[in-house]
Amino acid sequence: MQPRRMARELALLSISQMPNSPERLDTQQLNNLVLAAVRTLTGEIQEALETAAAELKRGSDRILESETRATDVRSARAMVTDAIELTEKAINHLGSAVEIPEIVQLSNTAEVRSYTLEIIKAVSRRQLEIDQMLNQSLKDWQLKRLPRIDRDILRMAVAEIAFLGIPDRVAINEAVELAKRYSDEEGHRFINGVLRRANDLIKTQALPQ
């Protein structure tokens, strides 16, 4: 994994655990943030798997109880389909979690650590400006109502484009890849659209670095 791509993933996992004064964040604190984020992600995986298992059981029970009633069988099959989708989502998150020990280990490299902290601090320092740009770029949505992971991905990408000098194409593509790993099935398309509108907005504004 490329150092900056790894830094983005590390920042995404850490940003929700960010202290009130990220300017004072050091390496040990960053490691602690990542570990806290891993625990949160593990809890989400467990909850998703438990929900999927419960849906599968409900669907299976209804099929067994309703073999002669077509409407009930269709309903049960729909439950099973939903449960399979939930399971796939949980497995996707689980795949991401399996790679986290490698990310934590490699986070000690200077380049990864430096850019991770740079992203976190930029999002913190400029969050008001970033959120204003995102709210202007959302159609029929409010930033505060988005899933936390989607908010964090959007904020990081806007921070990279507007304040860290990253080419817009690179920042948007990297945000889409993060969304494919951590958001839901439609999340990456939604994030791609919002960031393209935000990028157009950024181009029209003179933002202090």
Q: pLDDT digits over 17-61, tens only? A: 665 555 556 655 666 766 666 666 666 666 666 766 666 666 666
- Position 10 scores a pLDDT of 81
- Position 154 scores a pLDDT of 97
Residues in the chain: 209
Is the pTM here over 0.85, yes or no? no
Q: Count each helix (H run) and each strand (E run) in the chain, helices first.
A: 9, 0
pLDDT band for position 131 (cuts 50, 70, 90): very high
Distance separating alpha carbons of residues 24 and 57, to the nearest angstrom: 49
- DSSP single-letter state for residue 164: S
pLDDT band for position 138 (cuts 50, 70, 90): very high
What's the mean pLDDT when you consider all of the chain? 77
Burial 98-116 (b: 16+ CB within 10 A, else e): eebeebbebbeeeebbebb
pLDDT more than 70, % of the chain = 55
- Position 199 scores a pLDDT of 95
**Residue with more model confidence, 68 or 13:** 13
pLDDT digits (tens, 9 = 90+) for 144-202: 889 888 999 999 999 999 999 999 999 999 999 999 888 877 889 999 999 999 999 99
